[in-house]
Chain A
């Protein structure tokens, strides 16, 4: 590991007073990458004792401090009751040891698990801009089918972020000059385009302070994760769905997909086709096929074009009481 200066942030208000550097949350991703020397920050700013570790119920929102651990968030009674999709997404990620340490802010900004990104002997535009992308012709079973570019086909690995995308969560930030930012989770991460080295839209030194969940979420929620082992494995494909059923019609429907893109993917085309309609299996499939119209496989991940719609259709059937599969 390269040497670095270690600093602690006392409160978010002191942000302008510490040296600019990388923020350290639970460290479960950053320390790993620093050991590989894929991340080599000169300054580490430990934000775990800056008082951002509470979950607060406000009138119109629930505010989750960015240092709340994945365990504390998943097991909070309010989250389990009103936002079960979030609790279940969190619990289906990583292990108890990792969830105890991992934070809300760090989970959002964790980097891809693309194996070529981790292997410093291979070409990777995300790690080393301009070097190429070994995943394009390589083992790309885990890679993106939506929103990718010829420069990078990596996926964002977070389960939590997928649930937050379906819940319409907003990321609250603080910049070094003290101004506050508000960014919908769905707009936090970038698509790779020609700058795959940039994962997200935050400025240098912009701190995630909290994540806001809108109050009164849709009542019917579910998270499903398809993976190679039943525990402790990243998603091949995952989906988070939230909706209400009013007089048999689907309302406030939100579908977010994981494991298919560089960011949690909101299936807005499918949502638009289904909103206000009565549940019907054929219609579900039609909407998801529409969503997948632009999907592109790269060989080993072609199956995701079939798997992702099927996962969502199965979940919609279950949630709306159509049953079967």
Chain B
């Protein structure tokens, strides 16, 4: 067992863990936050997406023990003071889900995406100058989040609403 201290959604946790435990299992099983989902457990579906130190990652492929001192945000940590995150509201308004299994991952991914665009991080469809929030750009940047129900069109629309681009 190894000691680990990390901050999840603003709360500091001090735990002893088996080094084999993934960050996803730590958050779901040890800390009891059931928002992040285990879709594939192999880095393929994005259902387990969390934001770690400001960057979204697949928490199923990350050993918890490597996250000493890190700051983790899960879907439970997106809302502030009881107010839904604008993306959460947009997902409701635009009907961007059916069964909802992929939604926690989609939301964390989309929240990080908005920051990445603000930072000017390029994607493979981005041209030389600035990032425009076109459908193509959003689809490329969200390609790591699969939705078995196929709610993709509405997911893209919800994200576009929040990014303020109406194209």
Which residues of chain A have a CB within 8 Å of any CB of chain B?
A: 1, 3-6, 24, 27-28, 31-32, 35, 44, 46, 48, 69, 71, 74-75, 80, 87-88, 91-92, 94-98, 100-101, 231-232
For the A-B complex with A35-B41, A87-B122 known, give 6 more contacts whose Cβ atoms are closer than 8 Å: A27-B62, A31-B63, A71-B121, A97-B43, A98-B43, A100-B57
A6 engages B19 (CB within 8 Å): yes
The complex places the Cα of A32 from the Cα of B112 at a distance, in Å, of: 24
Chain B contacts with A in 83-115, Cβ cutoff 8 A: 109, 112-113
Report the minimum CB–CB distance from A113 to chain B (whole Å): 12
| B36 contacts chain A at the CB level, 8 A cutoff | no
Whole-angstrom CA separation of A94 from B123 in the bound complex: 11
> Which of chain B's residues have a CB closer than 8 A to the CB of A96?
56, 109, 112-113, 116, 123, 141, 144
A-B contact count (CB 8 A): 82
Q: How far is the CB of B104 from the nearest CB of chain A, in Å?
A: 13
CB contacts (< 8 Å) of B43 on chain A: these are 28, 32, 97-98
Interface size on B, residues (CB 8 A): 32
A1's contact among B20, B62, B121, by CB below 8 Å, is which? B20
Beta-carbon contact of A232 and B61 below 8 Å: no
On B, residues with C-beta under 8 Å from A are 2, 19-20, 22, 41-43, 46, 49, 55-58, 61-63, 65-66, 109, 112-113, 116, 120-124, 139-141, 143-144
| Chain A positions within 8 Å of B123 at CB level | 91, 96
- Residue numbers in A under 8 Å from B140 (CB-CB): 231
Tell me the smallest distance from the CB of A154 to a CB of chain B, in Å.
Answer: 19
Complex alpha-carbon distance, A97 and B42, angstroms = 13
Is A97 in contact with B19, judged by CB distance below 8 angstroms? Answer: no
In the assembled complex, the Cα of A265 lies from the Cα of B76 at a distance in Å of 46
Q: How far is the CA of A87 from the CA of B122 in the complex (A)?
A: 9
Task: Count chain A CB atoms within 10 A of each CB in B19, B120, B139 and give the residue with the most.
Answer: B19
Q: Are B20 and A3 in contact (CB under 8 A)?
A: yes
Which among B41, B65, B123, B124 has the highest number of chain A CB atoms within 10 Å? B124
Contacts of B57 in A (CB 8 A): 97, 100-101
Closest to A2 in B: B20
The residue from A3, A46, A92 contacting B124, defined by CB atoms under 8 A apart: A92
Bound form: Cα–Cα A188–B112 in Å: 35
The one of B61, B116, B120 that contacts A28, using a Cβ cutoff of 8 Å: B61
Chain B nearest CB from A238 CB (Å) reads 12
Q: List 22 A-B contacts (CB under 8 A).
A: A4-B20, A6-B2, A6-B19, A6-B63, A27-B61, A28-B58, A31-B62, A31-B63, A32-B43, A35-B41, A35-B42, A44-B19, A44-B63, A71-B55, A92-B124, A96-B123, A96-B141, A96-B144, A97-B46, A97-B56, A98-B144, A101-B55
